[in-house]
Amino acid sequence: MSEKDRFSGALDRVLELVVLLNDDMTKSLASLGLTGSRAHLLWVLRERGPLTQRSLAQALGVSARNITGLVDALVATGFVSREPHPTDRRATLVSFTKQGEATARDLQRDQEEFAELLFAGMPREQFDAFVGGLGEVLARLAKAGLTRNAAGG
Amino acid sequence: MSEKDRFSGALDRVLELVVLLNDDMTKSLASLGLTGSRAHLLWVLRERGPLTQRSLAQALGVSARNITGLVDALVATGFVSREPHPTDRRATLVSFTKQGEATARDLQRDQEEFAELLFAGMPREQFDAFVGGLGEVLARLAKAGLTRNAAGG
DNA sequence: ATACATAGTGAAGGTGCATCACGATGAGTG
DNA sequence: CACTCATCGTGATGCACCTTCACTATGTAT
């Protein structure tokens, strides 16, 4: 088997993982009444506290206009609320409602459970090797100029 | 560091890889005049030869109606053509045009180059460990009932 | 012939994304 | 203070992807 074939095969597996992960997360999110983008927004909000929509746009790497729609939806379903910014009357702060906080916790719990599903009981050596390889691949991607925020900065 | 944290951290890295991969492939595909879904269709067509739209729907895991739109777009851009099915007058066969064949080859070349970027020069041991871990994770996903086609069958 | 299943598509709708235009506000300058 | 320019959110519009339901044309089994 040529090196080329080994590499392509590995990429195929990675891609398969991507598809599977995507499907599973989408389903899991749907059961909480969320979509991927809305969950992502909640996730950022949870890590960084109340934010303006502008900040959210930057954090998610999407247009400001798009955030309006996502927040609209999350407000409609009661996960977040819009508050006036205390000092800048142009801006609005997006904050969790109680329900939103609970959902964000569920989100994290689900993620932890999923990580458990993937890795629990795996020999420590294999786990470390996998994570190491993952890090190496990520580093190569970064070196190739694909650092998530290189374009968005 | 607790086991839980190690697992979550690893999942975070996997998710980061997913995002990075997605971005890069989207860009690469756009340069060929394709989107992800259309490229996927071409990919399946390349592996399995001329197919009915119904078969494509199954292969891509989307609704038949959706295939109509994807094929419409690919016909409009000259990558594929619709031919009457030789024996079933209800069905249409989707086949490559010459341009489509060339593009499919480009697609594969790009994918191989990308695999090269990710893995070339990586110590054989690390590569094998990574692929092994990947296989293990994939197996767990499959065991958890997330086998790509389990729901679609 | 009749009934049922299948292939593709029109219609309508949901979600995520973008750009452009615009009003409201903030901040810097004279 | 008035003027200018940048910034925040959003309306309008459009593309891609996906869905379900309804419908026609066709195949198939009884």
- Which residue reads 């983008």 in tokens? A37
* Closest CA of chain B from A83, distance in Å: 31
What's the CATH number for A3-143?
1.10.10.10
**Confidence at A123, pLDDT banded by 50, 70, 90:** very high
Instruction: Identify the closest residue of chain B to A11 by CA–CA distance.
Output: B115
CB nearest to B17's CB, from A115, A119, A138: A138
Q: Which residues touch strand C (CB under 7 A)?
A: A 35-38, 60-63, 65-66, 69-70, 73, 87-90; B 52-54, 57, 64-65, 67-68, 71, 82, 85, 88, 90-92
* Per-residue model confidence as pLDDT tens digits over B103-114: 999 999 999 999
Q: Which nucleotides of C are covered by protein (CB under 7 A)?
A: 6-12, 15-21, 23-27
The encoded tokens of residue B85 equal 């099915």
Q: What residues in A contact B116, CB-CB < 8 Å?
A: 4, 7
Which pLDDT band holds residue A153 (cuts at 50, 70, 90)? very low
With a cut of 70, say whether residue B126 has pLDDT above it.
Answer: yes
CB contact under 8 A, A112 and B137: no
> Would you call B130 and A130 a contact, using CB atoms and an 8 Å cutoff?
yes
pLDDT at residue number A94: 98
Cross-chain residue pair B126–A132, CB shorter than 8 Å: yes
Domain residue ranges of chain B, discontinuous segments joined by +: 1-31, 32-120, 121-153
Give me the CATH code for the B32-120 domain, please: 1.10.10.10
Angstrom distance, B144 CA to D22 C1': 37
Q: C1' nearest to CA of A41: which nucleotide?
A: C16
Whole-angstrom distance, CA of residue A127 vs CA of residue A140: 20
Q: Could you read off the pLDDT of B79-102 as tens digits, one per residue?
A: 999 999 999 999 999 999 999 999
Taken in order B44, B45, B50, B53, the sign of the CA dihedral is: positive
Which residues from B are below 8 Å from A16, CB to CB? 138, 148
How distant is C1' of C27 from CA of A47, in Å? Answer: 30
Q: What is the pLDDT of residue B144?
A: 82
Provide the ipTM.
0.88
